Copies of this chain bind each other. A is one copy, B any other.
């Protein structure tokens, strides 16, 4: 069998997220697996690097799966694009070593959360922005972000209350950038808990609104209680931008470490 890695972009608006559920028709993974089963004649399991929630988009999701030797990576990518709907697209397809696993081998993921602070969202970006409708103090958000980066127990930022595994993750950096009426938050980390990026975004929005202080981030982390953190920001503002493996991921981590105040 050949192990194929694909880079994917999708508009998550009409999907129940990445992960296959009962109704496979409405998940990205389900759609991919249906097309691959059609191509190969066999059930095929697709592993995605990030399990994006319902309504969350991707520009750089990475996935891998096995196909029989007589299908090349190029053919497989073209077949997927032909039969996948227009809101899911393979942008790259290549053969990778047999042991490569897109989720287990990922060492860095970049998620972007986009907020529109103006009154009405720009028409052509409306589905990819969280429409807030008022301005935010981005300096306060930047100061708050400094308290959040590092290797920490993010239990307060985990949307799954029954989480039994470790809630410790490393957040390498959070960049807060303004472009006119848009504020974009870039979260780069080694992995994220259920709803973690959206709860971080919601909490930082509350800081930007003056409802929380930057310093209060320490208390939230220490509480290890979902109730202590802010709201879960809506899914449409979120996009999985990039997944890093091996050398690229390591380099990015070092850059991030040099740029941000670092706490282990």
A residues with a Cβ closer than 8 A to B are: 9-11, 57, 59, 78, 81, 86-89, 119-124, 126, 128
Contact = CB atoms under 8 A, between A and B. Distances in A.
B124 A128 contact: yes
Consensus secondary structure, chain A interface: mixed
A81 B121 CA distance: 10
Count of chain copies? 2
Given A9-B123, A9-B124, A11-B124, 19 more contacts: A9-B122, A10-B123, A11-B123, A57-B124, A59-B124, A78-B119, A81-B119, A81-B120, A86-B120, A86-B121, A86-B123, A86-B126, A87-B123, A87-B126, A88-B123, A89-B120, A89-B121, A89-B123, A124-B128
Contacts of A126: 86-87
Contacts of A128: 124
A57 B123 CA distance: 10
Nearest to A84: B120
B122 A89 contact: yes
A204 to B, nearest CB: 24
A255 to B, nearest CB: 27
A156 to B, nearest CB: 33
